Structure 1
Amino acid sequence: MTESERMLGLAEPLHQKVSQKFMTAFRAKDILFSETSLAYLQARGGASFQLRYCPALKKKPQGHVSSAKRDPSGPKFDPFEDPPVELLVAQIPAQNASHTLVLNKYPVIHNHFIIATKANKPQTDLLEEDDIGLTHACLRAWEDQRHDGSSPRLFAFFNSGEHSGASQVHRHLQFLPVEDMAGSKIQEWRLLIDRMNVPAHPELPLFQDPSLPILHFSTPLEPGISAADLHRKYIMLMKAALSATLSPGGPLDQSLVVEKDGKTLISYNLAMTTDRMAICPRSQEAAFIPGAGPESSVAINGTILAGTLMVKDETEWDILRETHSLLDEMLASIGFSLISWKQHGSAIKI
């Protein structure tokens, strides 16, 4: 048993547990999987983005099917409070569990699963050390114990705040297997977070991809990194994002307080792989597509840091495939201007 599996307390490999649970739920129709059409868009700077078209999600129920029978003035249905056994993958750690692993009920990518706090903690609060530590343990466990020579990867993302694309208020992070995202055309697409390797600060381990027209930062994660150090890196990214949004012309202010009464002061998306963590502060949830009609609105969440977007309307799908330049405009509209602190710690707008 690997160190990450010991930390999680799993009796079998994580990838095996998730894939078996997914297939069982898929066959029993306990999850509602939606097929997508896939195209590739090229940003001006060279980054390749996946564009997924999923018209079925226009019909996705809002909340749980039983919510219509509930008192409208009562509490909103919480899918993570007591997840059905058909979707429950595991409770972790096995001893004194603080989190649950559960399948996404409405996936568009195979083996999409979620880590949620057992206690109903707010999605808008600062992530805690065990949230980060257990998420990273899942990322490591996914790559462990493969005897077929493959090198599978898992991508984790977190949406926090009103402009982030978050759909549930109960704290949770989500996992997508990279190979399931890429499908058969893995050579045409690379995780966006992997491109964020250009230094953005003269002293701190902050990096960017200068070709992306939206504020973001990443930081490397060393092998064997502890949960405490992971959390410190997370706070560093939060301070960089907040400093760049509040004072885009000034130096990075490491004394900034990033939360008030537990709640973070910005909307943001966070992403993580085994070797990198990234953040993208958000100014609005959805992007408007010119020519797609007055109701056009494409909601964008943390999968932006993987390099993937999804539309539900055929007109939006057609326009974006025909006019790749709109991609840069969409990205710029949902966040903040890209800056770095390369020269003497002073901010430079890129």
Structure 2
Amino acid sequence: MGNLVWHEYARFVSIAANCYAMWAAFWGIYYRKFFWDFLHGIVRAPGGIQPAASDSIFISIIVKAPVVQLLSFVLAFVILSLERPLPFLKDSSIHRSFPIRIVLLLLQTFLGMLFYQLPASFEAARAAGDLHFFPSTVHTHAEDGIDFEIRLCPALQKKPAAPAPEFDAVEDASPAKAPQDPFAPPYTPGLFLGEVKDEFEGREYVVLFNKYSVVPHHFLIVTKEFQSQTAPLFPADLVQVYLFLVAAKKAGRTFFAFYNCGDLSGASQPHKHVQILPLDDPDGPPVEKLAREAKTDREDQPFSLPLPYANHVRRLPASLPRAAPEALEPALAAASMAVLDLAIQTVRHAPAHPRGPPSYNVLLTLEHVHCVPRARECAALALAPGGDALPVNALGFAGMLLVKGEREMDAVVARGVRSVLAESPNMPSRAGVDEASLVQNRGAKSRELACPAGVQNVEARGIGASEPEAETRDVEDLTNTSH
């Protein structure tokens, strides 16, 4: 009797393990990585590690072609067909053979140890309670040729309310009195995915799962040392984020990045972090369709999309995803600083902009850099006479709105997504304005903003760099006076 109990227990363990193996192998096809590349590899810019030449065979059969994942999937199916025997296998010599089972299970163990299982990490973090996942449904709302996404997530109503981030308090407070930083070590084990270091500037970053996820595998790139969320993205930040997008594309997945800068941008934490979100649509977020259709005289000419709020876009070189890491920094820095320069000009000429440093949202895809200046608190958008508000951050300007209930969704649809988005930044649209002429009117020295040296000056001063003295005073006025 005892032997029968142990036999049934072992069979159930085998069934459970191979069900997991099939699930892990399926996701391993999308997230291709040789798990043991860190043993001989060299730590460089992300994907994180440059595998050693001795690992080339594993890179070929796991990353370049998912051979190991497919074998693991098929092998799991074979083992399950023995444990819950198919009719033609029942009572056969293969079905009764323990040695065959042992060999197959050992082979499955070996295959499963070879490839990295990010979704398994996500599920493990969720099971441990380190990560909270809120299920949602996506509704497509077509408006003026754009298929906006409205994600309905009623479960978010149960999410603990977080206090509004106090950027100045964090920057000015002593370490003993500073608010708790969720991105500071020690890191929650289930959320921690790894660390990366910029090869050229030495900046270090931590990769963490988003603790409160509405979309699976939503993760963050966080500066290891504290930097303020009011600071612009520096060249090293842009390079690291872009390389993650490139790595995802090579693995057959589409991700895009967004950055909420400043206290009016929808940022939830004062510690500098860029968010990276997976997409089911290989064409990217909804606004990318508009960006691709935009016509410019030159590839490096900034432009605005025909949307009812101020926005600035710069197209990236088509060859950039294939470029070496050292070639990424000049192109990304030039594009980022071009749109940031225009966003600051928009803020400077906006009477509604409140006192303080500029707030804006940045979207980064493999093809474009978008920047949307903000003049209104993200949650100050009234949807109904009762005073309800809809928080809008960078995701909204990517064409992806998040609502917590049917009433909010009905209000958004009734008003129109474009109108809702126009109310949040409270910035007039510059569509139709010659963006190139705005840049040229800044004078020859303003073009230094588009080079990495200019970005380093941004880090020192916080907003602009390498400008004529009169222009510098204009920028400083943003932090010292109210319009």
Whether these two folds match at TM > 0.5 is yes
TM-score (norm. length: structure 1): 0.77
Tell me what 1:120 maps to. Answer: 226
Q: Partners in 2 of 1:87 and 1:55 — Cα distance? A: 24
Equivalent of residue 409 in structure 2, options 279, 294, 317: 317
Tell me what 1:86 maps to. Answer: 190
Q: Secondary structure at the match of 2:247?
A: helix
Tell me what 1:217 maps to. Answer: 312
Letter in structure 2 aligned against 1:119: E
Greater mean deviation of Cα atoms: 154-163 or 217-226:
217-226
**Are the aligned partners of 1:202 and 1:345 in contact in 2 as well (CA < 8 Å)?**
no
Letter in structure 1 aligned against 2:138: L
Structure 1 residues 280 and 24: alpha-carbon distance in aligned structure 2, compared to 1, 3 A threshold: same
Equivalent of residue 157 in structure 1, options 241, 246, 258: 258
TM-score (norm. length: structure 2): 0.57
Q: Partners in 1 of 2:162 and 2:363 — Cα distance? A: 25
Q: Secondary structure at the match of 1:232?
A: helix
- Of the two structures, which has the highest relative contact order with CA contacts closer than 8 Å and spacing of 6 or more? 1
Tell me what 1:254 maps to. Answer: none
Tell me what 2:45 maps to. Answer: 7
What count of residue pairs does the alignment treat as equivalent? 306
* 2:150 equivalent to 1:51: yes
Equivalent of residue 365 in structure 2, options 273, 283, 289: 273
**Are the aligned partners of 1:156 and 1:174 in contact in 2 as well (CA < 8 Å)?**
yes
Q: Specify which structure has the higher proportion of helix.
A: 2
Tell me what 2:462 maps to. Answer: none
Letter in structure 2 aligned against 1:244: T
Structure 1 residues 272 and 228: alpha-carbon distance in aligned structure 2, compared to 1, 3 A threshold: same
Q: Secondary structure at the match of 1:208?
A: coil
Question: Alpha carbon RMSD of aligned pairs, Å?
Answer: 3.2
Greater mean deviation of Cα atoms: 95-104 or 306-315:
95-104
Letter in structure 1 aligned against 2:342: A
Greater mean deviation of Cα atoms: 279-288 or 338-347:
338-347
Q: Partners in 1 of 2:341 and 2:400 — Cα distance? A: 26
Shift of 1:305: 3.3
Q: Secondary structure at the match of 2:258?
A: strand
Please give the per-residue CA displacement for 1:158-213, whole angstroms capped at 9, x wherever unaligned. Answer: 0011210000000000000112xx5xxx89x9531342242578895213321x21
| Structure ID, larger Rg | 2
**Are the aligned partners of 1:158 and 1:302 in contact in 2 as well (CA < 8 Å)?**
yes
Shift of 1:240: 1.0
Structure 1, gaps ≥5 residues long? 65-72, 249-263
Tell me what 1:75 maps to. Answer: 178
Greater mean deviation of Cα atoms: 237-246 or 107-116:
237-246
Structure 1 residues 116 and 194: alpha-carbon distance in aligned structure 2, compared to 1, 3 A threshold: farther
Please give the per-residue CA displacement for 1:4-32, whole angstroms capped at 9, x wherever unaligned. Answer: x942233697x956433212212333211
Please give the per-residue CA displacement for 1:48-82, whole angstroms capped at 9, x wherever unaligned. Answer: 21111222222222459xxxxxxxx9422211111
Please give the per-residue CA displacement for 1:317-336, whole angstroms capped at 9, x wherever unaligned. Answer: 23334x1x432221111221
**Are the aligned partners of 2:315 and 2:368 in contact in 1 as well (CA < 8 Å)?**
yes
Letter in structure 2 aligned against 1:58: Q
Tell me what 1:286 maps to. Answer: 379
Tell me what 2:428 maps to. Answer: 337
Shift of 1:282: 1.0
Matches within 5 A, 1:187-266: 191-197=286-292, 198-199=294-295, 205-210=301-306, 212-222=307-317, 223=320, 224=323, 225-247=327-349, 265-266=357-358
Determine what percentage of the aligned residue pairs are the same residue.
26
Q: Specify which structure has the higher proportion of strand.
A: 1
Please give the per-residue CA displacement for 1:297-338, whole angstroms capped at 9, x wherever unaligned. Answer: 0000111232101112332123334x1x43222111122121
